[in-house]
Amino acid sequence: MLDQFVSEDTADYEINAGSMEEYLSNKKLYIVFKKLTKKQQKILYLAYVEGLIDREIAMKLNVSRQYISKIRKIALLLLRTELEESV
């Protein structure tokens, strides 16, 4: 249901999971990152690579700050869970 609110082309550019390899030095983290949805990848990229806060990301993607916060937290939880399971 949440996926209805942010279309894949809401930003002026696409986040390519392959381009994240240069930012993620941990190979396991990179592999798990590729499993996230495009929306989750985009939000994490904007937050942790471009250094935007939730409000700025929300403005860029034309959605609410709460939506960004929720998607970011879910994505981080998925990353954490996957990484813990792979250990």
Looking at residue 22, its pLDDT comes to 77
Task: State the Cα–Cα distance between residues 20 and 22, nearest whole angstrom.
Answer: 5
Q: What is the mean pLDDT of the chain?
A: 82
Answer whether 54's CB lies under 8 Å from 65's CB.
yes
Give the side-chain half-sphere CA count within 13 A for 39: 21
In 11-78, beta strands by DSSP E: none
Task: State the Cα–Cα distance between residues 31 and 48, nearest whole angstrom.
Answer: 17
pTM: 0.77
Give per-residue pLDDT as tens, 11-49: 444 565 457 777 888 888 889 999 999 999 999 999 999
Looking at residue 75, its pLDDT comes to 97
Looking at residue 4, its pLDDT comes to 38
Domains of the chain: 36-87 (1.10.10)
Q: Is the pLDDT of residue 55 over 90?
A: yes
End-to-end CA distance of the chain: 32
Measured from the Cβ of residue 40, the count of other Cβ atoms closer than 10 Å reads 19
